[in-house]
Structure 1
Amino acid sequence: MTGTSAAAIVYGVILGAGLWLLLFRLPFMRPTTFTQRIGPLERIVRPVLRDGLIARGKLNLGSKALARRLAQAGINKSPVEFRAEQVLWAAAGFVISIGLVVLGAVSGRFSPVLAVIAVLGSALGGFLFRDYWLGVQISKRESRMMAEFPSLAELMALAVSAGESATGALDRVCRSARGELAKEFSKILAETRAGKPLVEALQEFSARTDLSPLVRFVDGIIVAVERGTPLADVLRAQAQDVRDTAKRELMESAGKKEIGMMVPLVFGVLPLTVVFAVFPGIAAISLGF
């Protein structure tokens, strides 16, 4: 073996070793480590655990979140009473599904697996549907409160401008208006007359609502009461802010509906128009006119 052959063998071995290392160190050829194997599992399990904790909080009989939601819906029930009502809804779904299963069995269409799934699903659906309906009640009540808010805020501003205090303005609003927001103001006024400070009663109302305009409104009243700033100007500004927000939401809703109307126009009316415009000419050509 000459020196050239020996050098060629050495270079070939080095090149082969380099190619082997390059090939087996590529990402798809590397062995998967334990950390890499459990990484995706952790990303999957974490949201499941978080959702489970949220669901557990909803199912808690003494849940503060449920009590707050009941207050937002204007329902004078304790969380335990609401859970009992959910159980009744579940029982109603269970009974209805049992009746449907019996009717299916009488008519000769009966599957034990489907029957069990239908019965359990109906019971669970009744339980969850009551919670969903509570959310619907909250949304409807908050919509009514926002519709009432500008008028009541301006009425309070007029009362304050006439020399009434914040408590007196609330009293005048409660005697003059009817509605969901007026009921909340009546509750604040009743708590104030029972000895609770006005600021504390307003803060409790702010804590049990998710409507940001109302929260800003209450915060403005609290600041005006504590610091002695002009309350009438604050109330008028809040009312105008809510009206501007309602106008923006109305414009956004109109824009979305306008885009939605393009679908039947483009795919329904426009093709028919083209057909009515072109068909007479095609018929005339086919008849040889």
Structure 2
Amino acid sequence: MSPLTLWGAVLGAVAASGLVLVVARIRVIRRPQLSLRVLPYVRDLPQVGRTPTLKVVSSSPTAAAAGVFGPLLRSMADGVERVLGGSASVRRRLERAAIEQTVHEFRVEQVLWGLAGFALAAAYGVISAATGSGGTLSSLLLCFVGFALGVIGRDSHLSGQVSTRERRILAEFPTIAELLALAVAAGESPVAALDRVCRRSGGELSRDLAGVLASVRTGEPVGAAFDAWAATTGLPLVARFAQGIAVALERGTPLADVLHAQAADVREAGRRELIEIAARKEVFMMVPVVFLILPVTVFFAFWPGVVGLNLTTP
């Protein structure tokens, strides 16, 4: 047996062992915990002297990667947190995007995105080195830039998720407000109206209202639940809507009129936003007219005269 064949067999065995370990670890992570299988049957028993309930294991790729390469990823995530900071802002954006993640899990995702950028930059560096057009220092710098771009890209993607969800909420808001107004005007209580709207609709705003309804059903006052929602949302219109409902419930103002007025305000704000967007895009709308249509028109207007002058000139 040649040394090359022996080294190939060793490398193949090492790769196969690594794949087997990864698959085994992922299967252990995805296996339901004993507490999750037993607690539904012993939930009414007293909890004195017991250890806290174990956290539900997430089935996301981030949790699987953290389970396999846990210590390394956690240390890198802590390093990213120390360098970037802003955990309060990240937590706020995660809440606004309705992403059920902790700040540390988000940092782990940032590390994974950075490692993906690092791998792409390293592959490009290897190819450049193989062709003899790249140096070691430039490759290392490129790998560092790839990692940084991956980390920043995940943060930008989170901001994009927040903006997308808030646009959906604004699109759903007038309809949801009108449904609530109709239900209250028909004689239902605010809690019953919330329940009906949450059961009859689906969307991001309905999810937020379902959270408010869950808080009310756990014993929190309706006004306090809407005040908490107004404090957590990032949209001024939605915050004003929630505060208006809370004030109407506290002072006895007719709730249907408040809801109709809020829906009208949102529609008017949407029209103003469309007008502002059209005004900002007016210059860009003139670009094809000035640089495409006008030159073609001038060409067709003056080209026959130029041809005629050339034909009549002796």
TM-score, length basis structure 2: 0.71
- CA deviation string 1:234-253 (max 9, x = no partner): 00000000001111111222
Conservation of the 8 A alpha-carbon contact between 1:94 and 1:120: yes
Conservation of the 8 A alpha-carbon contact between 1:72 and 1:209: yes
Which amino acid is 2:289 matched to? L
CA distance in 2, matches of 1:198, 1:57: 41
Percent of aligned positions that are identical: 46
Cα shift at 1:97 = 1.2
Q: 2:270 aligns with which of 242, 246, 263?
A: 246
Residue equivalent to 2:297: 273
Q: 2:288 aligns with which of 245, 257, 264?
A: 264
Which amino acid is 2:140 matched to? V
Which amino acid is 2:163 matched to? S
Q: 2:235 aligns with which of 179, 196, 211?
A: 211
Secondary structure, counterpart of 2:94 in structure 1: helix
Range with bigger deviation, 217-226 or 199-208: 199-208
- CA deviation string 1:129-167 (max 9, x = no partner): 101100000000000000000000000000111111111
Larger of the two Rg values belongs to structure: 1
Secondary structure, counterpart of 1:88 in structure 2: helix
Question: What root-mean-square deviation, in Å, do the aligned CA atoms of Structure 1 and Structure 2 show?
Answer: 1.7
Cα shift at 1:255 = 3.0
Cα shift at 1:57 = 9.6
Residue 66 (structure 2) pairs with residue 59 (structure 1): no
Q: 1:148 aligns with which of 136, 159, 172?
A: 172
Cα shift at 1:67 = 1.5
Structure 2 matches for 1:116-195, cutoff 5 A? 116-195=140-219
Conservation of the 8 A alpha-carbon contact between 1:92 and 1:123: yes
Conservation of the 8 A alpha-carbon contact between 2:223 and 2:247: no
CA distance in 2, matches of 1:270, 1:92: 47
Between Structure 1 and Structure 2, how many residues are aligned? Answer: 233
- CA deviation string 1:30-67 (max 9, x = no partner): xxxxxxxxxxxxxxxxxxxxxxxxx979625xx33321
Which amino acid is 2:234 matched to? D
Change in CA separation of 1:171 and 1:59 when aligned onto 2, cut-off 3 Å:
same
CA distance in 1, matches of 2:167, 2:83: 26
Cα shift at 1:197 = 2.1
Change in CA separation of 1:206 and 1:79 when aligned onto 2, cut-off 3 Å:
same
Cα shift at 1:259 = 2.8
Q: 2:96 aligns with which of 69, 72, 77?
A: 72
CA distance in 1, matches of 2:262, 2:116: 46
Residue equivalent to 1:223: 247
Change in CA separation of 1:57 and 1:70 when aligned onto 2, cut-off 3 Å:
farther
Unaligned runs of 5+ in 2: 1-80
Residue 260 (structure 2) pairs with residue 236 (structure 1): yes
Unaligned runs of 5+ in 1: 1-54
Cα shift at 1:208 = 1.5
Change in CA separation of 1:175 and 1:57 when aligned onto 2, cut-off 3 Å:
farther
